[in-house]
Amino acid sequence: MDEISGLKQTIADLFLGQNLAVLSSYGNKQPYASLVAFAATEDLKHIIFATTRSTRKYANLTSESQVALLIDNRSNEEKDFSYAIAVTALGMTEEVRDSERTSFLKLYLKKHPHLKEFVSSPSCALLKVTVQKYYVVNRFQNVQELHIQ
């Protein structure tokens, strides 16, 4: 397995094992972080999440679509310094269009079936991040970068 394939597999494995990401958005001249339930496409080009349109994060995303998402497997123990993996995804967010909604919703609900009622609400927006790059950090300070095309 080459380095890029190995890095993609590391990211995919981490994403399969984690349900939540920290979303960093920007609005009102300040950053804002929030937890979101996420799912990623198999090719890692998109990360999907849902939020109510009345939230601060949704308002931020409509004015500034650039975001960062942090997904990690820390356990809040000393061993994390050696063994935890953290992935930061950088990309642009947009609401999922009707033509894509069925496939992205299916992907999202496969991972989060308990959120079906929430995501089916007319006040809920299904959003996708088109990922431009990933930063993968392991062994505390080993950083690798993966550009998505």
pLDDT one-digit tens code per residue, 43-77: 999 999 999 999 999 999 999 999 999 999 998 88
Domain boundaries, the chain: 3-147
Q: Which two tokens stand for residue 91?
A: 């990309």
Residue 3: partners with Cβ closer than 8 Å, 6 or more residues away: none
Using CA atoms, how far apart are residues 96 and 109, in angstroms rounded to an integer? 14
Q: What is the pTM of this model?
A: 0.94
**What is the per-residue pLDDT for 12?**
96
Contact between residue 82 and residue 74 where contact means Cβ atoms under 8 Å apart: no
**What is the per-residue pLDDT for 1?**
63
- Among residues 94, 81, 23, the alpha carbon closest in space to that of 57 is found at 23
Residue 69: partners with Cβ closer than 8 Å, 6 or more residues away: 21, 22, 23, 24, 36, 38, 47, 88, 89, 91, 129
Q: What percent of the chain has pLDDT over 90?
A: 83
pLDDT, one tens digit per residue, over 102-123 is: 999 999 999 999 999 999 999 9
Using CA atoms, how far apart are residues 73 and 118, in angstroms rounded to an integer? 26
Query: DSSP label at 122?
Result: T
The domain defined by 3-147 folds into: Pnp Oxidase; Chain A (2.30.110)
Average pLDDT on 75-104 reads 92
Q: How confident is the model at residue 78 (pLDDT cuts 50, 70, 90)?
A: confident
